[in-house]
Structure 1
Amino acid sequence: MQSLREYLNAAPDLVYQALDLATAGFYVCPISDPSGAGQVREARSADANSCGRLTDVFFSKRAFASLGRPIPDNDLWQTWVSLIHPEDRQRVVDEIKHAMNQTSATVLIEYRLLRDDGSYRFTRESGKTVRPDQLGRTCYLGVLSDIDRQVEFERRLIRQNHDTQTILDTIPTCIWVKDEHSRIERINRAAAEGTGLPPEQIVGKLTRDVYPTEAKRFEETDATIMQGDMVRAVPEKLVHRDGSFRNMLIDKYKLQCDADSRARILVVGSDVTELVSTQRAMAKSEALFRTMFDSSPIGMLLVGNDGMIRLANERCQAMFGYQDGDLINHSIEQLVPLSSRGAHRRHRDTFSSVPEGRRRGDIRHLPAVRKDGSKFVVDVWLTNVSVDNQVMTLASVSDVTEQANTETRLKLAVEVGNVGFWETDPNTGRVELSPQALRQMGITEPITDVQGFLDRLHPDDREATLKAFDDHVRGDLPIYEAVFRLLHVDGDYRWVISRGICIRDDDGVAQPAVGFHIDITEQQEMKLELERSNQDLDRFAYIASHDLKAPLRGIQNIVGWLKEDLDDQADPDIDDHLRLLTTQADRMNRLLDDLLQYARIGRESVAVQDVDLAKTVPELFQFISPPPHIRLEIPGDLPTFQTARAPLEQVIRNLFTNAVQHAGSQNDRIEFDCRRDGEFYCFRVRDWGKGVPAEYHEKVFQLFQSITPRDRQSGTGLGLALVRRLVEQAGGRAWVESPQDGGAAFGFTWPVKYRV
């Protein structure tokens, strides 16, 4: 039987017609000369390298006709190349050149060709180098196919897949699509994120490869759905790669369509993690509420809108004298005295209408009645709560009978005493004063508004008093406090200190303010008298120091004149007497200075400034002019801090002076030390003199006290008294120690932050 190849060889025109009908045309490009086999490769290479400018190329009519163009008369290859889309042109030429260098490999090239109407057609070229026996030379054959519709279909399919995936990715529910072998073909973003892998690492894999731990259960339900059974609301866990998991409810559906005979599985997973957590939290909250309710140290009641008791804890039942469960489903009114039940019922109805969570009408000192009929007093705090979609009232009840009795006694004591209470509403100007507050002004007629109160307030005190109250109402001050004068009925003004606080609602809006007045007239008069006495003392100390110093200066001048008159002719006794007189006059002068300084401590303002102790301490030591053989030892880390320089320098200078005076001829050093102790610096001045016996540790800080005999004293006896007074004025303390190795150590504390 004749083969198709033999038949077509006998009728070559039939091959041409078949190619032209079955394709979008073809072309043939000879790439070697029949002059010799040895030259084929060289010729082929040369033609291939110049294929961008070939002239010996043959195109079928359909190649150009399918583009709506006639076959050009010349330059066929250049015209053909110019029709290739500019973005594809170089790639196509390079691939054809590569194909020409191959012996038998078939190449597939896809590119766009320009139609006559200006549009581009997607074309697939199947190319191959062939060597027909009849020609005796190698040719490149390019067969063209129109794939425009195929490309458009593929694009539409890609868009549809993209749109479908976009829709799936916007759904918060987890979605998987599998084949009958549990291979995952599609997954949405929610499911991929829940798995902890990007979609490209999931799609195409078997379920057991992605979810190895849960694979057996997943595949069993896959088989169930493929058999036609339902899989609905199956609880599962979607395990993340990091070990965390989400609680899921899984539904599975069998997908079947006419276009594809293969059945698929649609898996829909609803994330119920929050729901499960909420349910657990609600159960835990309910258990916690019941535990707290039953174990509360105060009485607890849960009352419905109908006034019936739903729950009562053990403490509440014992408080009212009932046994376990006796109060349940009984009216709340039976716990209130008969005379108060009507008012209580109205109050309960009003409170029940308040939205859930609002606190209203907390009741203080409510009369209550026990089961045996005995009465007592309770405080009640009410809160509306939602139970099973019903608004109920949660009441906390405390027995305050003893407290109420105490408050009654306290009220009587206050009325008898000198404390008056007041209440005022900053929004309306209403004022209410207790009887004692009125008695402080000697009146009985009530004052009901702010103006009535201002009429009795001293004109000089009104501005400061009103400002202090307004600052507190605005929230600038935590409490209101003012000292002012109120006009008494006898025409005199009484000094009063007033303190109070403004009550605020849940929104922070100021409500009535309450407070008290205390008559401090006697204290204020004593304070004024003390201030006058201090002023008199200051004037006396100043005048006395100057008046007493005048005769001393006269004595010193006379001694000087006597020395000049006597020249060197006085006998030794007279020189000793004059020297002693000069020494005593100098000591008396220093004594007057120290007395004046001692009297002024605490009554003069001091400046706070930076003090560098590493620089200041050596300067103070040199200021007292110590003997040359005594040196000062200080640590290398003395602090710099802000404090009152003058009193601190006075303390250190006095301690240095005291140490040098008692050092003795054998002592060659004085030690100064400092360490931080919380909010204070602890200073220490140590000498190696004769020391201070333990029985004198307190005595040496008293005025004019010294362990040195008076006739041998060079000081005034006020140095250490000044030290203690200045240190205590600063908030510290001063002391003396007797070290075991001899000498004395004077210590004092000084605040790190000095308060003026």
Structure 2
Amino acid sequence: IKKNVLAKKELENTHLRLTTILNASAVGIYGLDMNGKTTFCNPSAAAMIGCSIDEIVGKNQHELIHHSRMDGSPYPVEDCYIYSALHLQASYTVRDEVFWRKDGTSFQVEYISTPLFEDGVQKGAVVTFKDISAQKHIEQERETLLTEMEQMNMELKNFAHVVSHDLKEPLRGIAFNSKWLVQDYGGILGNEGKEYLDRLIDNSERMSNLINGLLKFTEVGNIEELSVPVKTGPLVENIVKSLPLYEDIKVEIQPPMPEVIYSPVRLEQVFQNLIVNGVRHFGKKKGKVVVSCSDNGDLWQFVVWDNGQGIHPQYFDKIFEIFQSLAPKKSSDSTGIGLALVKKIVEQNGGEINVKSEVGKFSEFRFTVPKMV
């Protein structure tokens, strides 16, 4: 007798715990018998449906809350996945249907319908569900925003090409006519006049370089580019060969240089900008620029180092911003886009870039490239 009392007490405690969990759950939960009638329902389910628990228990679940599809058309019970759990003894997870409230409005749900067995015999099914209307609304807004952003990116790309063409054409005319004036009328213009025209030519070239840089910057991430195996050693060697000759500034490539998966054009832009930046802004009569790489586990870390004039720490972040340059404004070669372009390419390809420097001693640019398995 004592054992029976203890067993009954344990059964009551278990039932109490389950009832507490059921009532406290924020997810809607209800049970069905083999005829599709509701056997129990928790408060969350009743609240979402807009009925009292007494109005739900004993009623045909399909006729009460699942009678119609999202568009209002009838939902035949034989097509219902909840009833499939009853008759096919299978569990179903559904995310694109609605339940109907007492007031006739619907809400989007995600539900799981699972057969319920006792002693190996199916007695019905248990359905858990949650209202995902807000989530669906957010997803729809996100899709709309993504579509709008894609359209805006395409328009920006087309705008950049059109504007660059329209701007470069008159610039070429200005530069050509200015050179023609210097050649044919230099004697009449005098030194001061020729100086003004030289400034005009330099400014035209700087503007042209700026437009070209902007085009390259806007293209990154906006066009489909194929990443292929690239041997970085030969790629850097070709860049060095194409550089203007600087007798007292040497560029060294320290092997080994790995093969990486990258867009060849973009990787060339990264190395070229970093190497040219080191040479052009060296600031000393002689020295060297060194390109190397190290294996950092899941990443390759490339380094472009030089023992030139260095960079003050206060400019470490500024140099990666577009239109920011530490070179004199009169320089037509410096557009302030090169390092911003490098940063954008590196980050678009899953890497990071940073700079270390000591004024008067060295500068070191490090960027990473993820390894592809």
With normalisation by structure 2, the TM-score equals: 0.70
Aligned equivalents of 2:62, 2:210: Cα separation in 1: 60
1:214-253 paired onto structure 2 within 5 Å: none
Shift in Å, 1:434: 11
- Gap change, CA 1:622 and 1:527, over 3 Å in 2: same
- Are 1:368 and 2:14 counterparts? yes
Aligned equivalents of 2:46, 2:254: Cα separation in 1: 60
* Counterpart for residue 675 of structure 1: 294
Aligned equivalents of 2:128, 2:175: Cα separation in 1: 69
> Which of the numbers 615, 618, 622 marks the counterpart of 2:234?
615
Aligned equivalents of 2:205, 2:285: Cα separation in 1: 27
* Counterpart for residue 726 of structure 1: 345
- In structure 1, give the amino acid aligned to 2:258: P
> Which of the numbers 253, 264, 282 marks the counterpart of 1:663?
282
Q: Which runs of 5+ in 2 are unaligned?
A: 30-42, 49-60, 82-91, 99-107, 116-124
1:266-415 paired onto structure 2 within 5 Å: 328=3, 330=5, 332-337=7-12, 368=14, 375-377=16-18, 401=20, 405-408=24-27, 412=44
* Counterpart for residue 34 of structure 2: none
> Which of the numbers 365, 368, 373 marks the counterpart of 1:746?
365
SS of residue in 2 equivalent to 1:707: coil
- Are 1:688 and 2:307 counterparts? yes
* Counterpart for residue 256 of structure 2: 637
- Gap change, CA 1:412 and 1:330, over 3 Å in 2: closer
Question: How far does the alpha carbon of each residue in 1:519-558 deviate from its partner, in whole angstroms, 9 at most, with x for none?
Answer: 3332222222222222221221111111111110110221
Shift in Å, 1:447: 6.4
Aligned equivalents of 1:574, 1:694: Cα separation in 2: 41
Aligned equivalents of 1:437, 1:636: Cα separation in 2: 71
Structure whose residues are more often helix by fraction:
2
Aligned equivalents of 2:235, 2:9: Cα separation in 1: 81
* Counterpart for residue 594 of structure 1: 213
* Counterpart for residue 33 of structure 2: none
Q: Which runs of 5+ in 1 are unaligned?
A: 1-307, 309-325, 338-366, 370-374, 379-400, 417-430, 453-478, 487-495, 505-510
Shift in Å, 1:586: 1.2
Contact kept in structure 2, 1:727 and 1:748, CA below 8 Å? yes
Aligned equivalents of 2:277, 2:305: Cα separation in 1: 10
Q: How many aligned residue pairs are there?
A: 316
Shift in Å, 1:442: 6.8
- In structure 1, give the amino acid aligned to 2:289: I
* Counterpart for residue 603 of structure 1: 222
SS of residue in 1 equivalent to 2:309: coil
Aligned equivalents of 1:740, 1:434: Cα separation in 2: 77
Aligned equivalents of 2:127, 2:150: Cα separation in 1: 34
Shift in Å, 1:332: 3.8
- Are 1:542 and 2:191 counterparts? no
- In structure 1, give the amino acid aligned to 2:218: A
Aligned equivalents of 2:268, 2:127: Cα separation in 1: 49
Contact kept in structure 1, 2:290 and 2:306, CA below 8 Å? yes
- In structure 2, give the amino acid aligned to 1:617: V
Q: Which moved more, 1:552-561 or 1:694-703?
A: 552-561
Aligned equivalents of 1:732, 1:437: Cα separation in 2: 53
With normalisation by structure 1, the TM-score equals: 0.37
Q: Which consecutive aligned stretches of 4+ in structure 1 deviate over 6 angstroms post-superposition?
A: 413-416, 431-439, 479-482, 498-504, 511-516
- Gap change, CA 1:669 and 1:501, over 3 Å in 2: farther
SS of residue in 2 equivalent to 1:628: coil
Contact kept in structure 2, 1:626 and 1:660, CA below 8 Å? no
Root-mean-square deviation over aligned CA pairs: 4.3
Q: Which moved more, 1:629-638 or 1:654-663?
A: 629-638
Aligned equivalents of 2:250, 2:154: Cα separation in 1: 43
Aligned equivalents of 1:688, 1:413: Cα separation in 2: 71
Aligned equivalents of 1:637, 1:663: Cα separation in 2: 25
1:170-249 paired onto structure 2 within 5 Å: none
- In structure 2, give the amino acid aligned to 1:734: I
Shift in Å, 1:561: 2.1
SS of residue in 1 equivalent to 2:330: helix
Higher relative contact order (CA 8 A, sep 6+): 2
- In structure 1, give the amino acid aligned to 2:294: R
SS of residue in 2 equivalent to 1:571: helix
